[in-house]
């Protein structure tokens, strides 16, 4: 596969941008080789500057539930751009956006729009701290909640991929307020609460994790976590940046049947534009400025372009609930095909899937938490990644990430992927 133009651009990019990319996982560092510079996307496909075509399974890391550049989002954006790109004053569409989110996600009574998932999680924690008057938080090892200082402690995603789950630059003070529990292990949470009695403001969790690869929380664990937070008056935050509106209209909380106190969103709610949001119980959200004392602001928050693309997406999925059944069927079909390819190569690599989010882990032991996830052979994943890429399949360029299916993936895309998987697995063993 020709990648001469991408290689040239990458060399140029590295002179002006740290590592040549604006977000670390894109650099292909953990899988080796040169990142492909993308020139366009349509439906399930992405096209690079060298003229290669890929069936895309990252969908911009989650936002593209409907594939690249769907007509209805494009129309909404063209319409909005005619009226102006930003006003720094309230607009009607922000009310529509807030209303539709509260209708689709029952635990959300009030919502504040921000510009990224990172901003959403940082702001949600601040609101929880302001509401409870307590300072410490509990997160789970391998969960990633954006790059806010107090989240970069034993974090997943790129932080884990690059071997710096606890980043330099995070102060001791920040680190001291973040306690880390083991995912799917309620006793580890109980222990931290006991040791820090009356000091925990919030527990934040990816109830279905995407950032150590896909890992679902156990039903009992998440139920007990909810009960524990109620007993201890701790604000339970579900980070639904990846899972919101993807696993079901109501996200991970809908499929798990648990109501968090606050939720954070991003990705799908921006229809591919930069966006984030946090929301939940009215009594907590009313703490946020200007109705309350917890300060949080943003020049581009509620930006009309992001709101238009996001609103079009939410209206579409609200009016087409069957799409989740199609996503499930297609994802199950792909899972079956990939597993067959692995089995026929005599291996039992684990394939975790929740709806249209999934990860093939290069380990033969079940992956239920951080410790089992990191048993994966990341070098082998790198080889597999390149075999797939050379066959026109674009997977996440890191083991500890989720791949996503969109409504634009056709049966023929899935069959090509299944075929490529069988060949790639054979080629790397
Ligand atoms: N943090 C994202 C993956 N979980 C990566 C974002 C990007 O590189 O675009």
Query: Tokens 């969908």 belong to which residue?
Result: 59
> Closest ligand 1 atom to the C-alpha of 22?
8
> Closest ligand 1 atom to the C-alpha of 156?
4
Same domain, 248 and 124: yes
Q: Is 84 helix (H, G, I), strand (E, B) or coil?
A: coil
Same domain, 78 and 181: yes
The residue from 266, 291, 319 where one domain ends is 319
Same domain, 179 and 243: yes
Contacts of 138 by beta carbon, 8 Å cutoff, 6+ apart? 178, 179, 180, 181, 189, 192, 193, 200, 202, 203, 204, 234
Q: Rounded to the nearest 10 degrees, what angle do helices 186-195 and 219-231 cross at? A: 20
- Would you call 182 a catalytic residue per the annotation? no
For residue 58, the CA-to-ligand 1 centroid distance in Å is: 9
3-state secondary structure 85-103: CCCCCCCHHHHHHHHHHHH
Which residue is closest in CA terms to ligand 1's atom 7?
23
Question: Does any ligand 1 atom lie closer than 6 A to the CB of residue 261?
Answer: no
Same domain, 237 and 311: yes
Which residue is closest in CA terms to ligand 1's atom 2?
61
> Closest ligand 1 atom to the C-alpha of 242?
4
The residue from 319, 341, 360 where one domain ends is 319
Same domain, 82 and 173: yes
- Would you call 394 a catalytic residue per the annotation? no
For residue 351, the CA-to-ligand 1 centroid distance in Å is: 21
For residue 191, the CA-to-ligand 1 centroid distance in Å is: 32
Q: Is the pTM of this model over 0.95?
A: yes
Question: Does any ligand 1 atom lie closer than 6 A to the CB of residue 267?
Answer: no
Written as one string, the DSSP assignment of 58-82 is SGGGTT-TT-BS-HHHHHHHHHHHH
> Closest ligand 1 atom to the C-alpha of 210?
4
> Closest ligand 1 atom to the C-alpha of 401?
4
Task: Given the residues 267, 278, 324, 381, select the one marked as catalytic.
Answer: 267
β-pairing, 178-181 vs 136-140, is parallel
What CATH number should be reported for the domain holding residue 371? 3.90.1150.10
Q: DSSP label at 267?
A: G
Pocket test for ligand 1, best of 60, 61, 64 (most atoms within 8 A of CB): 61
Which residue is closest in CA terms to ligand 1's atom 9?
23
For residue 396, the CA-to-ligand 1 centroid distance in Å is: 9
Phi–psi pair at 173, nearest 5 degrees? -60, -45
Question: Does any ligand 1 atom lie closer than 6 A to the CB of residue 367?
Answer: no
For residue 401, the CA-to-ligand 1 centroid distance in Å is: 9
> Can you give the pLDDT at residue 163?
67
Same domain, 332 and 205: no
In a structure prediction context, what are the per-residue pLDDT tens digits for the chain, which is 429 residues long? 999 999 999 999 999 999 999 999 999 999 999 999 999 999 999 999 999 999 999 999 999 999 999 999 999 999 999 999 999 999 999 999 999 999 999 999 999 999 999 999 999 999 999 999 999 999 999 999 999 998 988 877 777 777 676 788 888 888 889 999 999 999 999 999 999 999 999 999 999 999 999 999 999 999 999 999 999 999 999 999 999 999 999 999 999 999 999 999 999 999 999 999 999 999 999 999 999 999 999 999 999 999 999 999 999 999 999 999 999 999 999 999 999 999 999 999 999 999 999 999 999 999 999 999 999 999 999 999 999 999 999 999 999 999 999 999 999 999 999 999 999 999 999
Question: Does any ligand 1 atom lie closer than 6 A to the CB of residue 45?
Answer: no
Question: Does any ligand 1 atom lie closer than 6 A to the CB of residue 401?
Answer: yes
CA 408 – CA 171 distance, rounded (Å):
44
Same domain, 54 and 112: no
Domain that holds residue 167: 71-319
Question: Does any ligand 1 atom lie closer than 6 A to the CB of residue 350?
Answer: no
CA 334 – CA 353 distance, rounded (Å):
10
Same domain, 16 and 160: no
Same domain, 91 and 178: yes
Tokens of 25: 């996982």
Same domain, 390 and 295: no
Q: Is 133 helix (H, G, I), strand (E, B) or coil?
A: coil
- 80: burial class by Cβ within 10 Å (0-12, 13-18, 19+)? buried
What CATH number should be reported for the domain holding residue 295? 3.40.640.10
The residue from 273, 304, 319 where one domain ends is 319
- Would you call 415 a catalytic residue per the annotation? no
Which residue is closest in CA terms to ligand 1's atom 8?
23
For residue 31, the CA-to-ligand 1 centroid distance in Å is: 15
Same domain, 215 and 358: no
Into how many domains does the chain fold?
2
Same domain, 187 and 243: yes
Task: Given the residues 48, 56, 177, 239, select the one marked as catalytic.
Answer: 239
β-pairing, 208-209 vs 350-354, is unpaired
Question: Does any ligand 1 atom lie closer than 6 A to the CB of residue 245?
Answer: no
């Amino acid at each position: 596969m020709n990648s001469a133009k991408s290689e040239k651009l990458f060399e140029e990019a590295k002179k002006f941008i740290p590592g040549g990319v604006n977000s670390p996982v894109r650099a292909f560092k953990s899988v080796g080789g040169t990142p492909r510079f993308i020139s366009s996307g349509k439906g399930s496909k992405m096209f690079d500057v060298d003229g290669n075509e890929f069936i895309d399974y990252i969908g911009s890391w989650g936002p593209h539930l409907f594939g690249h550049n769907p007509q209805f989002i494009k129309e909404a954006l063209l319409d909005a751009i005619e009226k102006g790109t930003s006003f720094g004053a309230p607009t009607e569409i922000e009310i529509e956006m807030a209303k539709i989110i509260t209708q689709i996600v029952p635990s959300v009574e009030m919502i504040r729009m921000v510009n990224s998932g990172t901003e959403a999680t940082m702001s949600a924690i601040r609101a929880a701290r302001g509401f409870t008057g307590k300072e410490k938080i509990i997160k789970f090892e391998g969960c990633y909640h954006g790059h806010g200082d107090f989240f970069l402690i034993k974090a997943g995603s790129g932080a884990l991929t690059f071997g710096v789950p606890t980043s330099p630059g995070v102060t001791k003070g920040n680190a001291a307020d973040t306690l880390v529990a083991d995912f799917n292990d309620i006793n580890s949470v109980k222990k931290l609460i006991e040791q820090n009695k009356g000091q925990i403001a919030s527990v934040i969790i990816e109830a279905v994790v995407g950032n150590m690869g896909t890992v679902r929380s156990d039903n009992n664990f998440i139920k007990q976590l909810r009960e524990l937070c109620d007993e201890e008056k701790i604000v339970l935050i579900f980070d639904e940046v990846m899972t919101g509106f993807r696993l079901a209209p109501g996200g991970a909380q809908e499929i798990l049947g648990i109501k968090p106190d606050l939720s954070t969103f991003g990705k799908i709610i921006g229809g591919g534009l930069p966006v984030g949001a946090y929301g939940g119980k009215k009594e907590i959200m009313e703490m946020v400025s200007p109705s309350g004392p917890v300060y949080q602001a943003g020049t581009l928050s509620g930006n009309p372009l992001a709101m238009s693309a996001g609103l079009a997406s939410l209206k579409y999925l609200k009016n087409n609930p069957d799409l989740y059944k199609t996503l499930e069927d297609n994802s199950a079909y792909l899972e079956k095909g990939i597993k067959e390819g692995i089995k026929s190569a005599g291996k039992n690599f684990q394939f975790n899937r929740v709806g249209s989010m999934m990860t093939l882990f290069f380990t033969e032991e079940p992956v239920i938490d951080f410790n089992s996830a990191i048993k994966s052979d990341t070098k082998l994943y790198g080889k597999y990644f390149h075999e797939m890429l050379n066959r026109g399949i674009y997977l996440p360029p890191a083991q500890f990430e989720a791949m996503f299916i969109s409504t634009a993936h056709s049966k023929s895309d899935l069959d090509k992927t299944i075929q490529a998987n069988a060949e790639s697995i054979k080629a790397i063993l």
